[in-house]
Structure 1
Amino acid sequence: MNLLKKTSLSVIALSFAVLGCKSPEKEETFVQKAEKAHQKEAFNNQEALQFDIKLEFGGAERMNGTMTLLTNSSKGMIELKNGSKIIYDKDKVFYSPDVPSEKSVRFDAYTWAYFFMFPYKMSDGGTIWSPYDNKATNKEQFETQKLNFESGTGDAPDDWYVVYTNKETHLVEQLAYIVTLKSKKEDAEKEPHGIKYKNFVPVDGVPFATEWEFCSWNEKDEFGQTIGKASLSNIKFITVTESTFTPGTDFKSI
């Protein structure tokens, strides 16, 4: 056997040995499957997006306006129908003096944007994921995990979420949550709430829920009575300028 043939056989044998020792591919995590379903990469390739949002609770209008958000979530703006504006820039919030309620400015600045951006925030720094035992009657339809946050994460690190993804599509279709921005954790946990994301519509290949249903929620019975709703329309990706998130000279800040 000549040297060339010996070398070729050795290479082939080594190749089979390497293939035989190749470790199996890791199964995608709960978060990875959800991010892929929501087209996170395509979403992040865009600069910003804009949509109209109308919120109702208890049969009364809570908010009606247009939201503009950077896809990296560092800046956002709500322009209400009366012309007033709320702008956030990282941890700073600015608002025009004619906002309907100064008490809810910081809550409004971050909460609704976070509910919209949630599928793209699941692997942010400070997130802690753990298994959750779904007790719902339709539990066969969903995978569930619980999200907590490391101390010092964001405005309200004591918040938590129970996340329900569709087992077939892996889209985030339901959330249970507490909001501690305006209350203590022990008080917020007495009355958790839930969101059901419905009527997903693709925009440039990225699926967005155009209807949100807010519900009561508890660990035993899970989703209960409907308490509010949101409708989103005219969702589109846009480009912005330096002035888009610049507050007016008469704006207040918190």
Structure 2
Amino acid sequence: MKNYIFAIALLITFLACKQNTKTEEATESVEEVIEETPAVTYPENLTKVFDAHGGMDTWKSMKSLAFTMEKPDGKEVITTNLISREGLVDNPKESIGFDGEKAWFVNKTEGEYNGKMAKYKYNLMFYFYAMPFILGDEGINYADTEPLVFEGVTYPGIQITYNAGVGETPEDRYVLYYNPTTYQMEWLGYTVSFVPGIDKKELHFRRYNNWQKVNGVLLPKTIVGYGFKDDKPTEAKHSTEFTEVQITNTAMPSSTFAKPEKGEFAN
């Protein structure tokens, strides 16, 4: 009996040691994976642009962004969870959202409504507003490009293209032009691919030269749309002002972005 009990005890001890060994091996394996995961690196000039706007570390510590734009029909409020990219656009004519998986819309008017555009519109102005940090997303390719010369000033450029399958329009191309002295972003050239009848290769332009610091991050106070010709800006056309800007390290509840009962999912 004593030999039997001793054998059982020895077996239990062996199994326990074996399990501990497996746990230690698994832990070491996880640590090795973590150590081998490369950090995201950016071109030196783009890193300097990020730093001029508060730094990528500061941006990545933020969880939500909200801002207001004055439109002809009233105020439009845009709210985004920065990590999940859940989004909500709300104005007197419509509500458009993204719940983390699908885009949805609510038509607040009696007229016809193109719900198919919701999947492009829910993050359209967020994308423009979150410049230059939004250009630090995964799946992006960078290359130096020909500088922009405007009113006697030469602005160096960084071209941004996307890997296949990134976003709704991976064929889009962006060019960030920055101030050669301050490294602050000054211009954005971009193609438009989701609007029928528009040249998908021609660069459109918006100017970023009026900034405001919010919670340590330099964000646009105004963005000015410009006319364009031959991939160059021509004259100022319209200005959009951004107010009630909030960027925080707390995410909004997911219920904020859930489709309401009256809403419809975009096709």
Question: Normalised by the shorter chain, which TM-score bucket?
Answer: 0.7 to 0.9
* Number of corresponding residues: 220
Alpha-carbon distance in 1 for matches of 2:97, 2:201: 29
Q: Quickly say closer, same or farther: Cα 1:148–1:247, change in 2 above 3 A.
A: same
Q: Residue 48 of structure 1 is aligned with which of 56, 64, 78? A: 64
Deviation at 1:141, TM superposition (A): 4.6
Structure 1 length as normaliser, TM-score?
Answer: 0.76
Alpha-carbon distance in 2 for matches of 1:157, 1:170: 27
Q: Residue 85 of structure 1 is aligned with which of 73, 82, 95? A: 95
Deviation at 1:177, TM superposition (A): 0.7
Q: Quickly say closer, same or farther: Cα 1:125–1:109, change in 2 above 3 A.
A: same
1:129 matched to 2:142: yes
Q: Quickly say closer, same or farther: Cα 1:41–1:67, change in 2 above 3 A.
A: same
Kept in 2, the 8 Å contact 1:175–1:194? The answer is yes
Corresponding position of 1:98: 108
Kept in 1, the 8 Å contact 2:208–2:224? The answer is yes
Runs of 4+ that moved beyond 6 A: none
Q: Quickly say closer, same or farther: Cα 1:218–1:90, change in 2 above 3 A.
A: farther
1:166 matched to 2:179: yes
Alpha-carbon distance in 1 for matches of 2:242, 2:92: 15
> How do 1:1-254 and structure 2 match up within 5 A?
29-39=44-54, 40-54=56-70, 61=72, 64-72=75-83, 74-82=85-93, 84-90=94-100, 92-98=102-108, 101-102=113-114, 104-138=117-151, 140-183=153-196, 187-190=199-202, 192-219=203-230, 222-238=232-248, 239=250, 240-254=252-266
Structure 1: which 5+ runs fail to align? Answer: 1-25, 56-60
Percentage identity across paired residues of the two chains: 18
Q: What are the Cα deviations for residues 151-199 of structure 1, in whole angstroms up to 9, with x where unaligned?
A: 2221111111121011222221210111212348x83225x31000132
Alpha-carbon distance in 2 for matches of 1:85, 1:27: 36
SS, match of residue 35 in structure 1: helix
Q: Quickly say closer, same or farther: Cα 1:27–1:249, change in 2 above 3 A.
A: closer
Alpha-carbon distance in 1 for matches of 2:230, 2:73: 27
Alpha-carbon distance in 2 for matches of 1:105, 1:92: 10
Corresponding position of 1:20: none
SS, match of residue 135 in structure 2: coil
SS, match of residue 47 in structure 2: helix
Deviation at 1:67, TM superposition (A): 0.8
| Alignment RMSD | 2.7
Alpha-carbon distance in 1 for matches of 2:209, 2:82: 21
Structure 2 length as normaliser, TM-score?
Answer: 0.73
Kept in 2, the 8 Å contact 1:176–1:217? The answer is no
Structure 2: which 5+ runs fail to align? Answer: 1-40
Q: Quickly say closer, same or farther: Cα 1:76–1:63, change in 2 above 3 A.
A: farther
Q: Quickly say closer, same or farther: Cα 1:165–1:248, change in 2 above 3 A.
A: same
